Structure 1
Amino acid sequence: MSPPAAADGSGNGEDGSEGGSEGDARPRLSAREEETLSYIAQGFTHAQVGRRMGVSKATVDTCVERIRAKLQVGNKAELTRAALNRLERRDRP
């Protein structure tokens, strides 16, 4: 059973999405989270990602924590592996 949506109807994601459906193997990330994850997978530091995205390092830190929770990964190596797996699946025909 999936958790209920937020009481304000905003969902779990920045873009109003509620995350992946029960049958979806990939948790849904907002466009901003996908962009952040892509930069992390390329090896950029949080400060570098922030400069590229026009936000502070603290904002990137918060975004990465949300991504880690959604993808259920701990350290940076696991996060990078998850990012590369997502990019690989996205690029398949």
Structure 2
Amino acid sequence: MQQISQNLQSIYHSYRILPLLLCAGVIIDYSLTFYFADSVEMVMRYEFSPTLKYAVSHNIVIPYLLSTVIFYYTAAYTVLKFLADSEI
């Protein structure tokens, strides 16, 4: 049990691994959105994100998803790297 706790602590304190969890969540969210939607029209009707609606209507969902994941990872990595040595 102590080893599991140490492994979780090492993941929690790693500013390189933690943003990967955020990116995995984004990929899972968008994948399940398209998996459970019956059609593209359903995504266009019920999706709240204007950028995703734009990507769907212009048929650029994969580049949109890749750029979103890269942006989220870069932003989270940068912020966590700056906060790693702080007292927060």
Same fold (TM over 0.5): no
- What range is the shorter-chain TM-score in? 0.3 to 0.5
Scaled by the length of structure 1, the TM-score of the pair is 0.32
Higher relative contact order (CA 8 A, sep 6+): 2
Is the radius of gyration larger for structure 1 or structure 2? 2
**Structure holding more helix per residue:** 2
